[in-house]
Structure formats: structure tokens, C-alpha cells
Structure 1
């Protein structure tokens, strides 16, 4: 519940729109997402398969630490409405954040 008495739902799922123009910002965001315990990052748009692979590398890190875990998916030729529906039904009740870099 927030300060006004409204019930809020934490963001736990991300739709990352491809292409990403700022890879440094993506690296920083991945670290934030791990701390926030984001459950899913769905990558959508042109070239999203390669971005998905990079995202997996950033999440796992150099040492392969198993504590650094986020489910990732890629959706290159799917309408955004289908991706939103998929993300909405994934796992927990958390809300969705769209990220464009």
C-alpha cells in the first residue's frame, strides 16, 4: 500500500524493446533488475534474438553466479499485443514495465 492508501503492484516483469542504442545503460539496468528480483525480461522487436543473447550474458556475468537469475525470452516477429499478453500471464501478479534505451 502506498502513502495514499492505494494498493500498488510492484513491477516484476520487463518488456525490453529492441534495438537498444545504449549498451552501457543496459548493463546498469541489468544490475538493477537483479536487485529488484525482476522475474522476466521479454525482448521484443527487430534484432531481439541477438539482444536476448547479450542480455543473458549480462545477467549471468563472468563467474556464472547462479544467484543472478532472470527468465528471458525473445519475440522478434510477434505483435506487441501478443507479447504483452504473454508477459501478463507469466508467473506472479507483478506489473509490466516497458523499457526503451
Structure 2
């Protein structure tokens, strides 16, 4: 995922992620270091992760969250639970 991943530009990322979720049992998400992000991206990925888990599949995050995303995750309190930290930051965190 790259570019504008905010409420203004999330449509393309949503469409691509929806197709990947539909067509694959395992999906890996990667967010570009220079992507513009807001809470919209976090909500999209969290919803997709739950949907995939409930369907018996797996959605993983390819690399630790890049700094812009990390800032949003921290401000939103998404890194408080150990399971969330493992997903967003990698198993070694």
C-alpha cells in the first residue's frame, strides 16, 4: 500500500485489499515508508484482519509499521495489547 492512505484516498487500497482477501487464504500487507496515513488505514487493516481470521485465513503485516503509521497507532492506543504489537511491529517486539 502506498500513496494517500487517508480518508480521502483509501478507496483504491480498500479495493485492492478486498480482492486479495477474497482470492487468497493468506494475505500479507505492506505499507510504504512514504505513505500518507491516518486512522482510516488502521481501521481498514484491523477490519480486514478480523474478517480474514473469522474466515479461517490469515492477514499479516509484512514489516514493522513505518514511522507515519507507527505515530497513528501510538496516538490511537493500538499498541497497548501484546497481540496488536506483534501484528503491527513484528514478533520480536
TM-score (norm 2): 0.42
| Structure with greater helix percent | 2
Question: Which of the pair has the greater relative contact order for Cα pairs under 8 Å at 6+ separation?
Answer: 1
Higher strand share: 1
